[in-house]
Amino acid sequence: MKNSPSEGGEGFEFSPVEGLTTDLDQMTHEQVEQAALTAKKLRDMADAQLLIATAAMHRRDSARVTHGLTTAGWLRRHCRMSASKASGTVKAAKALTHMDAVRKRAIAGEITADGVRQLCLARDMHPEAFLVHQDVFADVAAYLSPRDLRQAIDHWRQQVDQASAVADAQHRRRRRSVFLSRTLSGMWDLNGMLDPESGHIINAAITSVTDPTLIDPHDNRSNPQRRSDALTDICRFWLDHNGSTKMTGGERPHITVTLDYDTLVSGTSSEGLLPEIDGTPIDPATTRRLTCDSGIVRIVSDSDGQPLDVGRRVRTAPPAIRRALDHRDGGCTWAGCDAPSSWCDAHHLIHWADGGATSVGNMRLLCRRHHTMIHDGKVPPDP
């Protein structure tokens, strides 16, 4: 990689990279890595120069003199920065003029642009205390990862100003929120912010279900799909196992699928309509899986759909059979799966709607994923 002076400026010198002129295919792995490192270092060095030049512009108010703009406005227009990036750059530029040790190392490309920005923010929070510890920060920022540097700054802030550290933590916790809403297509939109403790707990719970060491090679779900399934499994586990969950209508709240008997047996209703969960159509395989292990309420209706007779809710796998299955199978029976029985459904080998008996002989435990796969027509591997 060669450096050459720019031709663009009168009265100053600047050395941008001419670019990589060597054929990449002719380079060794080490040389390619070195080229990437050099390019990154030059970018950090250039970023430091941008801050220094911006500070000089700001000091002289030159953007106003030449273009009638603020420094941030000038950056937005001429450097095509977003509003937040431009104002952040001006802030960092001003802070850096008071940070000799950091500036020197930034010019040398020893502190990354990200590190410089973090230190500038730290300095803005406690300018006097930062001055005292500046040399230490300049040293550690040269080798810490962005995350570790942020943590070091957090610890330093806590020592310097405990009251605002506590207020910050409280503010973070107040921002916690979860939004869950049904979209027009029947899908659900989930988003929000978690406070540090809740984030760790939920992350640990989801990770315990999606642990990469548990992935079987035939699992072709994407990672986001696996996380979605994990969250559903965790919530279902809670509904299945928490005896104190508030009852609605004498039942623990799960989901309700409404369908007519023909649909269940043949997969299509006489009117050609799909079964629905709360108004959203679901496919026949999902219907068969959901009814395979669930509570069933028989409702006999007249031709206008008015209920004539409502039966008792009956479990497709009564507690005694379920206990026997737990004892016999001990968990998911799909070869190679270690899901414990508490995560499993009781699957009918021959569906009860097709005349299959609800008996230990006709049933086996399957975790939610393998239960779904079986009803999708997948064949379990040989044990």
Which is closer to Zn ion, CB of 149 or CB of 337?
Answer: 337
CB 376, min distance to Zn ion, A: 11
- Please calculate the CA angle 40-45-49 and round it to the nearest 5 degrees: 145
Strands 276-277 and 280-281: antiparallel
- According to the binding rule CB under 5 A, does residue 334 interact with Zn ion? yes
* 75 near Zn ion, judged by CB under 5 A: no
Is 120 a binder of Zn ion (CB under 5 A)?
no
Neighbours of 288 (CB within 10 A): 20
Let me know if 202 is exposed, middle or buried by CB neighbors in 10 A (0-12, 13-18, 19+).
middle
Among 93, 119, 367, 373, binds Zn ion (CB under 5 A): 367
DSSP for 238-263, please give it.
Answer: HHHH-TTSPPBTTB-----EE--HHH
Residues in the interface with Zn ion (CB under 5 A) total: 8
Part in contact with Zn ion (CB under 5 A); list of ranges 126-134, 219-227, 292-300, 354-362: 292-300
Go through the chain and tell me how many residues it has.
383
Contacts of 91 by beta carbon, 8 Å cutoff, 6+ apart: 120, 124
Strand ranges in the chain using DSSP code E only, listed in sequence order: 177-182, 188-193, 257-258, 276-277, 280-281, 295-296, 299-301, 307-310, 314-315, 344-348, 363-367
Q: Which one of the spans 146-154, 241-249, 309-317, 342-350 is the region binding Zn ion (CB under 5 A)?
A: 342-350
For the CB of residue 375, give the shortest distance to Zn ion in the complex, in Å: 6
- Largest CA-CA distance found in the chain, in angstroms, rounded: 95
Which of 11, 361 has the CB closer to Zn ion? 361
Q: Which residue in the set 58, 123, 347, 364 belongs to the binding site for Zn ion (CB under 5 A)? A: 347
Stretch near Zn ion under the rule CB under 5 A, chosen from 136-144, 234-242, 252-260, 339-347: 339-347
- The answer to whether 346 contacts Zn ion (rule: CB under 5 A) is no
Type of residue numbered 234: I
Q: Compute how many other C-beta atoms are within 10 angstroms of the C-beta atom of residue 341.
A: 19
The Cα-based distances of 369 to 203, 209, 353 in angstroms read: 20, 12, 22
370 in contact with Zn ion (CB under 5 A): yes
- Report, in Å, the least distance between residue 290 CB and Zn ion: 9
Instruction: Name which position in 332, 353, 363, 365 contacts Zn ion (CB under 5 A).
Output: 332
The one segment of 110-118, 125-133, 151-159, 345-353 that binds Zn ion by CB under 5 A: 345-353
230 touching Zn ion, by CB under 5 A: no
Q: Applying CB under 5 A, which residues contact Zn ion?
A: 292, 332, 334, 337, 339, 347, 367, 370
